[in-house]
Amino acid sequence: MKLKVGRAQLWLAFVWLLCISAGLAIDLAWFPPSVVFPDESRLLDSAIHLAQTGEFRVGADRAWEMPGTALWFSVGVRLFGPDTAILAIRAAQSLLIVIQSMLIGIMALRIFSDRLTAIVAASVVSVYPFFLFYQGLLLSETLFNTLLVAAFASLYWWRDRGMKIDVALLITNILFVAATMTKATLTFLPPLLIAAAALNGQRSVRRVSSVLVASSLLFAVFMSPWWMRNYIAFGSFVPFSTSAASNLYIGNNTNNPNARIDWRTDVDTDFVKRVSAIEDERVRQREYFSAALSYIVHEPGAFLDRAAKKFVRFWNIVPNVAEYNQGSYRAISAATFGPVLLLAIASAVRWRRNWRMFLPIYVLVIYFTLLHTVTIASLRYRLPLEPFLILMAAWPLAQAYRWIWSSKVGGFSKENSEARRQM
């Protein structure tokens, strides 16, 4: 089998057009002209305030979350006005899915050195139901995923260039900081991911250490505007957001035995009411952190039990929420994420001897899993991992396609057989 470049380009153009068309169809036919969830309202309100005043706030708070999403949405608000920006933002987010598809395809080509695997990876990302659904929501996920994928694509580009302290390392750090400024989940992880990429059999510990130091310094330099802004606002060092402790609390308190995420039922409402009345968001964060830490220390068995439940919630192949855990939602989720997860695991096993090549992806998966089994877990918080799981799953899918094709035409082409031997 020989896949011609012209046919590959035509196919990718088709799936990208399909992606945009499907996104617009979902935006127009499925979602209402207004926002759907409370988180959307909060982010849109922040964007409107930012567009009108040039000041970033979340209600009365100044650092409750990172400003990247509000900045992204504020562009649509400025161009189209607060009342008509929603559809424009949704349409722009469908284009972000196409960008993710392109970048995942490029990464797959770098990692597997196989054009068919790259095409499969890009194609699956373009039509993946979870991505198409979330592009219609005014949440941080689509922008964060795009920036995170771009940072990883740059990371592997830097790796292929020889892992030098050069402009590629600079660009990689800028993209990781952009992702962090959109969602604080990454915290200080980016320098470790870059150091993980530099770890291979031909590099010394000293070389990895120098990359870690350089990346840490660059990360600090590019994060410093946010840090200085917060120091001026609060008079103290606030590295990321002030909402992390509230997530830790709701995931770890006596009123949440099922490890869910409902502020109406899964918390001590009197405690939350008292803390919510505190004006200083840093003090609120300390109160939530102290309550959660006290619970973890005094109820270690319950903490581990809830962590196990959150692990299941995080990696569930069907939605956790009862409203979506039925009918077509359940079937679509099981039929898409289920195979992706299994094939990604199979790919990891197949390429276990090349673990250094995949180490940054593995570190990201482990980090997100641990973070959300300690704090709060849902399918939404797993979404940033799914482009990389699709990348891993693309290799066995490509091999299955080759096997099917070879059974029809009588064998592999010389080109593809040689490519397989080189991987």
pLDDT, tens digit (0-9, with 9 covering 90-100), for 83-116: 899 999 999 999 999 999 999 999 999 999 999 9
In the block, which residue shows the tokens 């505007």? Answer: 225
- Of residues 422 and 99, which shows the higher confidence score? 99
Domain that holds residue 345: 5-422
- Interatomic CA distance for residues 163 and 204, integer angstroms: 12
- Interatomic CA distance for residues 314 and 321, integer angstroms: 12
Q: Span 346-360, mean pLDDT?
A: 95
Q: Supply the Cα-derived Rg of the chain in whole angstroms.
A: 22
The predicted pLDDT at position 328 comes to 87
In sign, the C-alpha dihedral spanning 202, 365, 143, 16 is: positive
Q: What is the CA 159 to chain-centroid distance, rounded?
A: 21
3-state secondary structure labels for all residues of the chain: CCCCHHHHHHHHHHHHHHHHHHHHHHHHHHCCCCCCCHHHHHHHHHHHHHHHHCCCCECCECCCCCCHHHHHHHHHHHHHCCCCHHHHHHHHHHHHHHHHHHHHHHHHHHHHCCHHHHHHHHHHHHHCHHHHHHCCCCCCHHHHHHHHHHHHHHHHHHHHCCCCCCHHHHHHHHHHHHHHCCCHHHCCHHHHHHHHHCCCCCCCHHHHHHHHHHHHHHHHHHHHHHHHHHHHHHCCCCCCCCCHHHHHHHHCCCCCCCCCCCCCCCCCHHHHHHHHCCCCHHHHHHHHHHHHHHHHHHCHHHHHHHHHHHHHHHHCCCCCCCCCCCHHHHHHHHHHHHHHHHHHHHHHHHCHHHHHHHHHHHHHHHHHHHHHHHCCCCHHHHHHHHHHHHHHHHHHHHHHHHHHHHHHHCCCCHHHHHHHHHC
Task: Look at 49-58, 136-145, 271-280, 403-412 and tell me which has the smallest mean pLDDT.
Answer: 403-412
417 pLDDT exceeds 50?
no
Q: Span 166-184, mean pLDDT?
A: 97
Provide the pLDDT confidence category of residue 315 given band limits of 50, 70 and 90. Answer: very high
Return the axis-axis angle of helices 85-112 and 68-80, rounded to nearest 10°.
130
The predicted pLDDT at position 329 comes to 86
Provide the pLDDT confidence category of residue 413 given band limits of 50, 70 and 90. Answer: very low
Tokens for 275, please give them.
Answer: 């803390």
Provide the pLDDT confidence category of residue 420 given band limits of 50, 70 and 90. Answer: very low
Tokens for 72, please give them.
Answer: 């992204």
- Of residues 65 and 411, which shows the higher confidence score? 65
pTM equals 0.93
Amino acid sitting at position 236: S
CB-count burial class (<10 Å; 0-12, 13-18, 19+) for 349: exposed
* Total number of domains constituting the chain: 1
Q: What is the pLDDT of residues 271-290, one digit of tens each?
A: 999 999 999 999 999 999 99
The predicted pLDDT at position 4 comes to 53
The predicted pLDDT at position 409 comes to 55
In the block, which residue shows the tokens 């099981």? Answer: 334
- Interatomic CA distance for residues 192 and 284, integer angstroms: 30
The predicted pLDDT at position 203 comes to 58
Contacts of 371 (CB under 8 A, 6+ apart): 185
The predicted pLDDT at position 197 comes to 94
Provide the pLDDT confidence category of residue 393 given band limits of 50, 70 and 90. Answer: very high
**Range 180-201 burial, b when 16+ CB lie within 10 A, else e:** bbbbbbbeebbbbbbbbbbbee
255 pLDDT exceeds 90?
yes
Q: Find, among 391, 378, 349, 402, the residue nearest to 153 by Cα.
A: 391
CA angle at 64 for the pair 60 and 68, rounded to the nearest 5°: 110
Provide the pLDDT confidence category of residue 327 given band limits of 50, 70 and 90. Answer: confident
In the block, which residue shows the tokens 């987010």? Answer: 93
The count of C-alpha atoms lying within 13 angstroms of the C-alpha of 171, restricted to the half-sphere facing its C-beta, is 14
- Interatomic CA distance for residues 158 and 101, integer angstroms: 20
The predicted pLDDT at position 410 comes to 53
The mean predicted confidence, pLDDT, of the chain is 92
Q: What is the pLDDT of residues 118-146, one digit of tens each?
A: 999 999 999 999 999 999 999 999 999 99
Q: Find, among 390, 264, 343, 240, the residue nearest to 382 by Cα.
A: 390
| Residue percentage of the chain with pLDDT more than 90 | 87
Q: Span 230-257, mean pLDDT?
A: 96
199 pLDDT exceeds 90?
no
In sign, the C-alpha dihedral spanning 323, 259, 278, 45 is: negative
The predicted pLDDT at position 269 comes to 95
| Residue percentage of the chain with pLDDT more than 70 | 94
Q: What is the pLDDT of residues 201-217, one digit of tens each?
A: 665 788 899 999 999 99
The predicted pLDDT at position 10 comes to 93
Q: Find, among 154, 150, 120, the residue nearest to 340 by Cα.
A: 120
Q: Span 53-77, mean pLDDT?
A: 96
